[in-house]
Amino acid sequence: MSSSQGQPQEQSPNPISTLPTKVALARFSDDVDLGGLDLGVVAKALGRQINTDVFDAWGVAANVRSVDSLDEIADDEVPLVVVDKSRDLPDHGFHINMGGRQCAIVTNDAGMWTAYASHELIELLCDPSGMRTTLGRSLETDQGKVSYLVEVCDPVEDSTYVIEQDGIPVLVSDFVLPSYYADDGTSGAKEEKHAYSAQLTQRFGLLEGGYISWQVLGTAEVYRALAGDPGAGTQISSRAADGSSTPREFTGELTIERLGDKVRPQQKPSARISRQWDEAVPAANPRSLQADIETLIEVVKADPPLPTIDDIIADLEPLKGDDVVDRVISALMREQQIAQIFGDDAFGTGISSFRTHLNL
């Protein structure tokens, strides 16, 4: 984040085009069922989606290949690994910085694992650091402008479309376009399309089943808006014969929750998990990629105690000098003084969610 006169500057919604990222698609082990799909076909379909649909919108590119085992993945390649659904990963998958190396893990849910792989790969390429944010008017009316986390597939979470590769239909994830994050000071309603496949006409709007997260400027408060009741499931307005789905644009009352109050920090992989991974696998003790991923999955699924305020201040220390981070540290120190008076250090919950979603 950059700053001027004490306020963060809005980042352009269009990232700068970069050299293609090398990606290797693999099964975690030979017994992971791919539902009859060939890894090579899926890799080519994902590559086509990234280098045409996603590139045209976001300026990112990738060379995606399939490999028969994790041992074949080169050090300069991003592992995109399919594991068995019995692993019960949060949100069917995640992408994370694993000891300085980008990595994405998805589960092999029948008929959906290719869409999960597409989702994680698109978000990893559009925001490798996990820290990309943009300013926009809050969906909570009394908050003014806030800092939205740029996760380009989350607002259209359940929307998918098909890419036909070698005569095989491959299900891939929908994603929002840069115009989705463009804030011109209006209410955000524009009669144009802000998603690649689905009909999404509202800036910072959501399809049914989608969600978006943001931080209130100058505070440690992080919120998430969900389209509908989180436990009710998504109502698909149309499902094609090829399996693709198009949820309706959500027009009802959003469910808005303060993450620090309702979401455990380990529900979203973050820099906190990266740190725990580093502690579990020291760099001086290199191991196989398979062993590293095993450890990573264990860390993600663990239920560690919430960090104290001291823990979070220590994690933010390397980022001191940034206006927003400095204000967050000041707020934390004030809360720490209050906690010491009242004997309550529970404020760490809210800040851990801030770190979780912004990868601090």
- Asked if residue 165 and residue 113 are part of one domain, the reply reads no
Lowest mean pLDDT among 20-34, 262-276, 279-293: 262-276
Domain termination site, one of 129, 148, 169: 129
Q: Is the pLDDT of residue 271 over 70?
A: no
* Most confident by average pLDDT, 4-8, 9-13, 99-103, 173-177: 173-177
Domain termination site, one of 95, 129, 163: 129
Give residue 234's domain range.
Answer: 3-11+130-261
- Percent of the chain at pLDDT exceeding 70: 70
Task: Report which of 95, 113, 89 is spatially closest to residue 27, judged by C-alpha positions.
Answer: 113
What pLDDT is stored for residue 266 in this prediction? Answer: 33
Contacts of residue 316, defined as CB under 8 A and 6 or more positions apart, other chains included, come to: 325, 328, 329, 332, 355, 360
- Percent of the chain at pLDDT exceeding 90: 41
Residue 40 located in a structural domain: yes
Count of domains for the chain: 2
What pLDDT is stored for residue 64 in this prediction? Answer: 98
- Asked if residue 136 and residue 123 are part of one domain, the reply reads no
What pLDDT is stored for residue 356 in this prediction? Answer: 43
Residue 222 located in a structural domain: yes
* DSSP string computed for 186-228: S-SB-SS--BSSS---BTT--BTT-EEEEEETTS--EEEEESS
How sure is the predictor about 243, in pLDDT bands with cuts at 50, 70 and 90?
low
- Asked if residue 142 and residue 7 are part of one domain, the reply reads yes
Residue 299 located in a structural domain: no
> What is the rounded CA–CA span in Å between residue 297 and residue 87?
8
Residue 283 located in a structural domain: no
- Asked if residue 114 and residue 140 are part of one domain, the reply reads no
Residue 291 near residue 328 (C-beta atoms within 8 A)? no
Residue 290 located in a structural domain: no
How sure is the predictor about 177, in pLDDT bands with cuts at 50, 70 and 90?
very high
Task: Report which of 191, 199, 175, 181 is spatially closest to residue 250, judged by C-alpha positions.
Answer: 199
What pLDDT is stored for residue 247 in this prediction? Answer: 80
Residue 339 located in a structural domain: no
Domain termination site, one of 261, 295, 324: 261
- Asked if residue 252 and residue 148 are part of one domain, the reply reads yes
> What is the rounded CA–CA span in Å between residue 60 and residue 16?
8
**Number of neighbours of residue 156 by Cβ within 10 angstroms:** 30
> What is the rounded CA–CA span in Å between residue 273 and residue 255?
27
59 phi and psi, to 5 degrees? 75, 25
Structure-model confidence comparison of residues 351 and 265, the more confident one:
351
What letter represents residue 33's amino acid?
Answer: D
Residue 293 located in a structural domain: no
Residue 222 near residue 331 (C-beta atoms within 8 A)? no
Please compute the mean of the pLDDT values over residues 300-307 and round it to a whole number.
58
- Asked if residue 255 and residue 156 are part of one domain, the reply reads yes
What pLDDT is stored for residue 73 in this prediction? Answer: 95
* DSSP string computed for 77-112: SEEEEEE-GGG--GGGEEEEEETTEEEEEEE--TTT
Query: Average pLDDT of the chain?
Result: 77
Please compute the mean of the pLDDT values over residues 107-112 and round it to a whole number.
88
> Using CA of residue 173, residue 179, residue 182, residue 185, what is the dihedral sign?
negative
Residue 61 near residue 18 (C-beta atoms within 8 A)? yes
- Asked if residue 164 and residue 112 are part of one domain, the reply reads no
Please compute the mean of the pLDDT values over residues 51-78 and round it to a whole number.
95
What pLDDT is stored for residue 74 in this prediction? Answer: 94
Q: Give 190-208 pLDDT, tens digit per residue.
A: 557 899 999 999 999 999 8
- Asked if residue 226 and residue 108 are part of one domain, the reply reads no
> What is the rounded CA–CA span in Å between residue 103 and residue 269?
11
How sure is the predictor about 321, in pLDDT bands with cuts at 50, 70 and 90?
confident
- Asked if residue 53 and residue 35 are part of one domain, the reply reads yes
What letter represents residue 250's amino acid?
Answer: F
- Asked if residue 145 and residue 7 are part of one domain, the reply reads yes
Contacts of residue 27, defined as CB under 8 A and 6 or more positions apart, other chains included, come to: 34, 39, 81, 82
Q: Hey, what are 143's tokens?
A: 């908050």
Pairing of strands 21-27, 62-66: parallel
Q: Hey, what are 4's tokens?
A: 């001027």
How sure is the predictor about 250, in pLDDT bands with cuts at 50, 70 and 90?
confident
What pLDDT is stored for residue 220 in this prediction? Answer: 74
Residue 224 located in a structural domain: yes
CATH of the domain at 68: 3.30.379
What's the pTM?
0.74
How sure is the predictor about 314, in pLDDT bands with cuts at 50, 70 and 90?
confident
Give the position of tokens 């290797």.
24
- Asked if residue 176 and residue 106 are part of one domain, the reply reads no
